[in-house]
Structure 1
Amino acid sequence: MKETFLAMMRRKALTTKFKALDGVSFTINEGEAVALLGFNGSGKSTTLKMISGVLRPDSGQVLTRGRVAGLIEVGAGFHPDLSGRENVFLNAAILGMTRKETEDRFDDIVAFSEIEQFIDTEVKHYSSGMFLRLAFSVAIHTEVDVLLIDEILSVGDEPFQQKCIARIRQLHAEGKTLVVVSHDLNMVSDLCERGILLRDGRVEFDGESKAAVQLMRA
């Protein structure tokens, strides 16, 4: 409010326009693993958020089929005053899972997170690593058709990262569709067979992932 008031007093513009994406269009087929590549500000995260439904395009449309879950802001639905157990059910519900689905997967979620002894402790007492482990574990066990992943593989220590990547590979092998954003170019080129390179909000390349990585590194 202070900044708005000062801008009005100084007769400065209160808003500015910025086109995050410009004419971006592509189709991702069922079961594909696709990497969204590009430097900071190229429009990768904006694209993921539109696919997830967090953002809506000003023009055009985004069409999805099946249940879509995004590992975009992991743990956004967690409440610090609730226990890990309670937050598992809360966050799973936000991600679209029924209580029965959560109950069936609860033991696997907790085991994957490796924080069994703290599952009934309030989340506000968790370390950042514990929090991210549990949040990621909930998201990765959601029953989905399309999984969106934004830089979340950088969380946790290396053994946990490798376990997360193995779980994502398993989901892809089961026929799930993956859309991945990461600055780890070696990982995404290995995990995804297709790469879409964005530059200044436009699609510069859409093809084989290793070719997209080489073009980005050029």
Structure 2
Amino acid sequence: MSSGHVSIDTHDACVDFPIFDAKSRSVKKAFLGRAGGSIGRNSSNVVVVEALRDITISLKEGDRVGLVGHNGAGKSTLLRLLSGIYEPTRGRASIQGRVAPVFDLGVGMDPEISGFENIIIRGLFLGMTRKQMLAKMDEIAEFTELGDYLAMPMRTYSTGMRVRVALAVVTSIEPEILLLDEGIGAVDAEFMKKARVRLQDLVARAGILVFASHSDEFLVQLCSSAMWIDHGTVRQSGSIRDVLTAYNGPDSAERVDRMIAAHA
């Protein structure tokens, strides 16, 4: 388990993205469609998209939180805020503990060097030492099922192969705060099934988990509570059962209960 005090605290945190050329309405529309926030103007009259608004969260060791919401609702932006990649434009965010973000899979990957070397670099990026990564290398390599490909430059890999490397590394480390976005996709179902088992072990070792997913079953499997993110705000938070039922509609209660019973 993690050492020391692990926590995530945000208070009225907002993340704004400025749109510098807002004269053209179509650009604005196109951007908004992607960011899913709402438009406002900041104090210097620059048009901004409010990607996250008034996010107040308090998480401590042992918390397992699922994030639900439509694409573009702000889940990925929230994960980036919680990982420290984005600073809040207003409000505050304080993260204590070693963070392992599993969503920017390209981060810490160099296309010109081999899979083996990338495994070490990715591990360093996640707070491990070179020695620790070398000790885990055989096990990581075996898990990827990439064989001789690992000696080849990363640019020769398909997206699915790169995802395998990233998942193999992240599931081999000891994170204090694990931030996971299932939208990493691009992996065949068989491999994802194998990765899920490792992810469950990883979650058991992590201090805090925040997990964004469109799979109710996967959320039920890994999380005890949930937050529904809608247009950059927290629409509802509570038990995984209450939030999934509210998000999917009252007709889903029975199905959600069945899934929870199956994983109890």
Output the TM-score relative to the length of structure 2: 0.73
Alignment match, 1:185: 216
1:30 CA displacement: 0.6
> Any idea what SS the aligned residue of 2:94 has?
coil
Alignment match, 1:208: 239
**Inter-CA distance 127–153: structure 2 relative to 1 (3 Å threshold):** closer
State the Cα deviation string for residues 131-170 of structure 1 (Å, max 9, x = none): 2111221122233111101124633111211111111111
Note if 1:195 corresponds to 2:226. Answer: yes
Note if 1:136 corresponds to 2:167. Answer: yes
State the Cα deviation string for residues 30-69 of structure 1 (Å, max 9, x = none): 1221101112232211110011111000122222221001
> Any idea what SS the aligned residue of 2:89 has?
coil
Provide the C-alpha distance between the structure 2 equivalents of 1:181 and 1:31, rounded to a whole number of angstroms: 17
Alignment match, 1:23: 54
Alignment match, 1:164: 195
1:200 CA displacement: 1.9
* Contact kept in structure 1, 2:105 and 2:184, CA below 8 Å: no
> Any idea what SS the aligned residue of 1:55 has?
coil
Provide the C-alpha distance between the structure 2 equivalents of 1:75 and 1:108, rounded to a whole number of angstroms: 22
Alignment match, 1:173: 204
Provide the C-alpha distance between the structure 1 equivalents of 2:183 and 2:229, rounded to a whole number of angstroms: 20
Alignment match, 2:32: none
Output the TM-score relative to the length of structure 1: 0.88
> Any idea what SS the aligned residue of 1:26 has?
strand
Gaps of 5+ in 1: none
Alignment match, 2:83: 52
Alignment match, 1:69: 100
Structure 1 consecutive aligned stretches of length 4 or more whose deviation exceeds 2 Å? 12-16, 151-155, 172-176
Provide the C-alpha distance between the structure 2 equivalents of 1:47 and 1:138, rounded to a whole number of angstroms: 23
Corresponding residue to 1:147 among 178, 187, 208: 178
* Contact kept in structure 2, 1:20 and 1:201, CA below 8 Å: yes
Aligned residues: CA RMSD? 2.4
1:128 CA displacement: 2.2
* Contact kept in structure 2, 1:75 and 1:91, CA below 8 Å: no
Provide the C-alpha distance between the structure 1 equivalents of 2:172 and 2:199, rounded to a whole number of angstroms: 10
Question: Equivalent pairs: percent with the same residue?
Answer: 32
**Inter-CA distance 126–108: structure 2 relative to 1 (3 Å threshold):** same
Query: When you count strand as a share of all residues, which structure comes out higher?
Result: 2
Note if 1:120 corresponds to 2:151. Answer: yes
State the Cα deviation string for residues 4-46 of structure 1 (Å, max 9, x = none): 89x69xxx99952111122111111212211011122322111
Instruction: Give the aligned residue type for 2:156.
Output: H
Instruction: Give the aligned residue type for 2:194.
Output: K
Gaps of 5+ in 2: 1-19, 29-40, 250-264
